Structure 1
């Protein structure tokens, strides 16, 4: 199954947390490339960076939750919260991936 993980950053987090822990975070993502297909920060309409998103392939929500908690960013206080959503992709690369009934 494919899941989207939406992270909400803590508004009072140290602004240097990302920079301080980025190498470990990227190492973690690379070590879990078989599960984490894509990851990255989000920005608001004004271009201000905030929050984050992962696209994950996993057998269960519990496994995704465990993955989030193993990320070196998790214990730093950067993340305020996260939500895991099941995602069904219906369109990609100009093509339908499903046929409506």
Structure 2
């Protein structure tokens, strides 16, 4: 069942995000089979990330919590807040999937 994980970076932690980014990307690559979609939330000018969205295919909230806690961004204490909710796909690639 899909879960949406939304993360919010701590203010003024852009340097930490950049420092840990490569390890974060390697973690995502190692878990690509779980990812339905994933990406950073950006400022309007596209230059600064302030958190991220993950759509993950996992069986339980506990698995989603373990997934995000193992992310190098989480381990580096980049996040001020993490929200996890179940998600139902309705549209994908401009197609109704219901």
Q: TM-score, normalised by structure 1?
A: 0.84
1:42 aligns with 41
**Matched position secondary structure for 2:59:** coil
* CA–CA separation in structure 2 for the residues paired with 1:22 and 1:35: 19
Unaligned runs of at least 5 residues, structure 1? none
| Aligned mates of 1:95, 1:38 — CA distance in 2 | 16
SS at match of 2:72: coil
Residue by residue over 1:66-92, the C-alpha shift from the partner in whole angstroms, topping out at 9 and shown as x without a partner, is 010001111212111111111111122
Partner of 1:95 in structure 2?
Answer: 95
Cα distance in 1 for residues equivalent to 2:96 and 2:37: 21
Residues 9 and 64 of structure 1, relative CA distance in 2, 3 Å threshold: same
Change (3 A) 1:94 1:19: closer
Compared with structure 1, are the counterparts of its residues 91 and 38 closer, same or farther at alpha carbon in structure 2 (3 Å cutoff)?
Answer: closer
CA RMSD, aligned part only?
1.6
Q: Distance between the aligned counterparts of 1:65 and 1:28, measured in 2?
A: 15
User: Hey, what does 1:19 align to over in structure 2?
Assistant: 18
After superposition, give the CA deviation of every residue in 1:27-71 in whole Å (9 maximum; x if it has no partner).
Answer: 100111111232211124454531111010000010010010001
Partner of 1:61: 61
Work out whether 1:84 is the aligned partner of 2:84.
yes
